[in-house]
Amino acid sequence: MQRRFSMIVRGTKDEMGKALYAEAQIERRESMKRTPVDLGPLRASHTVFPPKGAGDIVTVDIAVGGPSASYAVIVHEDLDAQHTTGQAKFLESTLRESAPHMAARVGKRIDLQKLVGGS
């Protein structure tokens, strides 16, 4: 029984990681739509990293910027800038709007039958 429980816990973390990763992809696409565009490197720089686990915690990171768009923080934080396309706080606003619904959406993605060995 202990071994079975350990397998379920490990499987739960795996399923949680997959669900979080899928949701992060949705957030990435939405934040890209809100990203100001001049030549395009900033919008193209949105990246979702694979799930990481530490103890009971599973995380997925979304990053914007990098070598091709090192100015990402400036564009994200400048509330006074006038953009013909997109807006400041493009990633933050997306995540804040999704936050109240995220747990339910992630929960729906987790396959409980798979975890407990049902068919």
Handedness of CA 46, 50, 54, 55 (dihedral sign): positive
pLDDT tens by residue, 24-45: 999 999 999 999 998 789 999 9
Q: What share of the chain is helix, strand, coil (3-state, %, to 5)?
A: 60, 10, 30
Q: Which two tokens mark 33? A: 């739509």
Q: pTM of the entire structure? A: 0.83
Alpha-carbon distance of 24 to 106, in angstroms, equals: 10
pLDDT tens by residue, 6-18: 666 667 888 889 9
Domain positions in the chain are 2-114
| DSSP state for residue 49 in the 8-state scheme | P
